[in-house]
Every structure is written in structure tokens, then in C-alpha cells.
């Protein structure tokens, strides 16, 4: 079976023009007819989201009826976190809070959903890792620990914004340092395969880099992947086809 997935840091619906418009983001994603969409930086009922549920809006316009959201922090009278949309019913949903090293650091998380079709059980993780390397390393180890409890016959996809090589240099300012290897990735590679995407997926005035990617279990096969250029976010979506 062919399974089509997209991971997308939607930047609370904000495009490079400063306009918040979840509908135009969803319509872009819909063109690719995905079965699963992994979202990061999604708002629910915040002032900047016009007090609306962005996961509902995304679900409506992509026509993916099953949805869940993990709320990692309270923000501007609402909530902020990660989401998953699916054309298949969700059997299980859980949001794990990722490790932090200082109380003032932003709380991140791993949203986990499980779906089934036929005899296949598929565990989906939408992740948004820290802008601090030490916390990213701890998160990678935590993901290995969480997934160690999943039956080895089940399939696993871990995808999203890993923030690899990103460093916070000021208020809402970050740079990117490219390396040949990253410890966070090497930890996850002990158990999972990784797509070898290299095109930049994140852009800012102070840096850009390939920080959105996907890990998957050995009982899955990737047939193709591509980066989707757009100006509806400061991240490019990443499209992946799996042979399930």
C-alpha cells in the first residue's frame, strides 16, 4: 500500500507576507492528496489565531477528517503545540512533553497517534525539538525510550521540525550551523532509518537550513520524498511516500 505523508511547520498560519491564513496553507497541502499530515507550531484559540482552532481549519480544508493536537504551552489566551491529521481513524493519541534544562525554556513535545488499516498498525509522531542542543539530545534519547515500548511488528514514523544545528541568538532570532553529523540524529539512527533530504526547509533573516526531516522503522520503505517550496510559512513542507 502507498501511504502519502507531509510534515509541515505551519508557523501558526503565518506566511512570509505576515498574513495569518491557515486556509491557504491547507489548500497547498491538499494538492498533494496526503493520507497523513504532521503539523508543528499550531495554535488553538489564541488571539493571533483569531480565537479559532487551527487544527479544525486545517482538517476542514484538507478534507482529512481525523485530527488530534498536543498542547505544549498556554499562549495568548489559548494553546500552542503540534498536530496530526489522518484519513484513517485514530485509535490512540498521547502527547509527551519533551525534556527541558531550564524552566524559562519553551516547553516542546512529541504528539503520538496510532492508526490501523488491515493488519498494519502505524505509530505516528509529530515532533518539534528545542532550539538548545542539550535539550535536543535529551529528546532524541527520550524518543528512543518511548518507542522501545512499541511492538516491533508495528510501524513507526517520527517526523517534524528537529531544529538540528539551530541556535537561539536573541529574542525570536536564530542562526544555523551546518555540520557533517549531529548527535541527535546519530542517537535516532541507532533504531530508525532517516530520509536523506538536504534542501533547506527553514528560512530566516539570520539563518536557514535543512531542519525538517523524517525517521522511520525498518519495516517501512520510502519510495520518494520532495521539499515543497512555498511562501505561506517560514518552513517548507516535506512530502514523503511510504510503501507500507
Q: Residue range 213-223: average pLDDT?
A: 98
Per the structure, the count of domains in the chain is: 1
Q: What pLDDT does 71 receive?
A: 93
pLDDT in tens, 162-206: 999 998 877 777 888 889 899 999 999 999 999 999 999 999 888
Percent of the chain predicted with pLDDT > 90: 88
Q: What pLDDT does 117 receive?
A: 87
What b/e string do you get for 86-116 counting C-beta neighbours within 10 Å, with b at 16 or more? Answer: bbbebeebebbebbbeeeeeebbbbbbbbbe
Say which CATH number the domain at 37 has: 3.60.10.10
- Rounded Cα distance, 11 and 83, in Å: 12
Look up the domain containing 53 and give its range.
2-243
Residue identified by cell 513542507 is: 237
Q: What pLDDT does 173 receive?
A: 79
pLDDT in tens, 52-92: 999 999 999 999 999 999 999 998 899 999 999 999 999 99
Q: What pLDDT does 93 receive?
A: 96
CA dihedral 239, 8, 116, 91 (to 10 degrees): 180
Q: Which of 60, 59, 46 is nearest to 11 (CA)?
A: 46
- Rounded Cα distance, 236 and 230, in Å: 6
pTM for the model: 0.97
Amino acid at each position: 500500500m502507498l501511504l502519502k505523508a507531509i510534515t509541515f511547520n505551519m508557523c501558526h498560519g503565518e506566511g512570509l507576507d505576515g498574513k495569518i491564513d491557515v486556509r491557504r496553507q491547507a489548500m497547498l497541502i491538499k494538492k498533494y492528496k496526503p493520507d497523513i499530515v504532521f503539523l508543528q507550531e499550531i495554535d488553538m484559540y489564541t488571539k493571533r489565531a483569531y480565537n479559532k482552532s487551527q487544527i479544525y481549519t486545517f482538517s476542514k480544508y484538507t478534507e482529512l477528517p481525523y485530527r488530534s493536537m498536543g498542547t505544549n504551552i498556554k499562549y495568548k489566551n489559548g494553546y500552542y503545540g503540534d498536530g496530526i491529521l489522518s484519513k484513517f481513524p485514530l485509535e490512540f493519541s498521547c502527547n509527551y512533553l519533551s525534556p527541558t534544562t531550564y524552566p524559562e525554556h519553551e516547553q516542546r513535545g512529541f504528539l503520538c497517534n496510532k492508526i490501523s488499516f488491515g493488519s498494519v498498525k502505524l505509530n505516528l509522531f509529530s515532533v518539534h525539538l528545542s532550539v538548545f542542543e542539550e535539550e535536543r539530545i535529551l529528546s532524541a534519547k527520550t524518543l528512543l525510550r518511548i518507542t522501545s515500548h512499541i511492538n516491533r511488528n508495528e510501524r513507526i514514523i517520527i517526523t517534524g521540525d528537529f531544529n538540528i544545528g539551530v541556535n537561539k541568538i536573541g529574542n525570536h532570532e536564530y542562526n544555523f550551523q551546518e555540520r557533517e553529523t549531529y548527535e541527535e540524529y546519530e542517537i535516532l539512527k541507532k533504531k530508525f532509518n532517516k530520509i536523506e533530504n538536504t534542501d533547506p526547509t527553514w528560512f530566516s533573516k539570520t539563518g536557514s537550513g535543512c531542519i525538517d526531516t523524517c525517521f522511520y522503522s525498518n519495516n517501512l520503505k520510502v519510495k520518494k520524498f520532495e521539499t515543497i517550496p512555498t511562501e505561506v510559512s517560514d518552513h517548507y513542507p516535506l512530502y514523503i511516500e511510504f510503501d507500507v
